[in-house]
Every structure is written in C-alpha cells, then in structure tokens.
Structure 1
C-alpha cells in the first residue's frame, strides 16, 4: 500500500469504528440491551461495548453531535416501539 493511501484507509477505518460505537451505544441506551448481549451481537468484548458507550457519551458534549444522536435515538425508539410493546 502506498504512503499516500494510508490516511484514507485510516479515515475509513475510523469512520466504521465511530458508526459501530454509536450503534452499540444506542442498543444499550435506547433498546436497554445488556452490554454482554451487545458484545455478542457485534462479536466484541463487553469492555469494548463499555468503552464505546463512554466515547459516545463524551462526544455528546458537542452540540451538533448531540442533535445527530438524538435523531438516531428517536428513530430507533420509533422503529422498535411496536416490537417492544408486543414483548411486554
């Protein structure tokens, strides 16, 4: 791999990591899934899920990111509301 492509590869990897962290956070916060179940679903360790939740929570201090995350949380809650009501 050439040196000029390394930053692009790193940026793409970082973006995938952030998306996965947000997904883990939403599963835990919105869907109330235990971290061990999330870890199994994402084929990661439970401590990785805990770290992801901490990273996303820290990023919520940025107003734009917080607005973005609130929209995702609303969408997920809405999408799973019918399923959650059936399970109760």
Structure 2
C-alpha cells in the first residue's frame, strides 16, 4: 500500500507546482498588465502582498526564456484588451 501512495506523490507534487506557476502568472498579469496594486491582487487570491511580489519576481526571471516571454506577453495583451478601458490605456 505504501508503494501505491508513494507512486501518487510525484503526481500531486507536479500538479501543485503547476497550479502554483499558473497562480504566479495570473498574479503577475493582474499587477503588471492591469496595474492592480499588489495588496489588492493578494487579497483577490487569498495571499499576502509579499507573495504577489515574489510571484512577479519569479515570472520576471522566467521571461528570459523566449517561449515563456511570448506566452506571458500574449496573456498581458489579452488581459489589457479585456479589462482596460480605452481611456485608461497607457501607450
């Protein structure tokens, strides 16, 4: 029985890691693209402001990867198109 439970552990860890990365990207887009203050983003995700700051740093570091940067850039464009009103756009 322990072997079966042990076999599940990497799947759970990978799933948890995937959810964490997804949440970090979402926090980043909310803060950077939508210019929502970190404290407000944290509250929306049930996390602390410092967690949002950490997430933004993690995403920034990963943007050195071209494919990841392209992906995040696309998400930023989509978020701005969906949530930023014409008069609020900068640039």
TM-score if structure 2 supplies the norm length?
0.87
Equivalent position of 1:28 in the other structure: 31
> Where in structure 2 are there 5+ consecutive unaligned residues?
none
Equivalent position of 1:42 in the other structure: 45
**What are the Cα deviations for residues 11-70 of structure 1, in whole angstroms up to 9, with x where unaligned?**
000000001000000010011011011111111011100000000000000000001111
Alpha-carbon distance between aligned partners in 1 of 2:52 and 2:84, rounded to the nearest angstrom: 23
Q: CA deviation at 1:80?
A: 1.0
Q: CA deviation at 1:85?
A: 3.9
Q: Moved runs in structure 1, 4+ residues, more than 3 A?
A: none
SS of alignment partner, residue 38 of structure 1: helix
Q: How many residues align?
A: 85
Q: Which has the larger radius of gyration?
A: 2
RMSD over aligned Cα atoms:
1.5
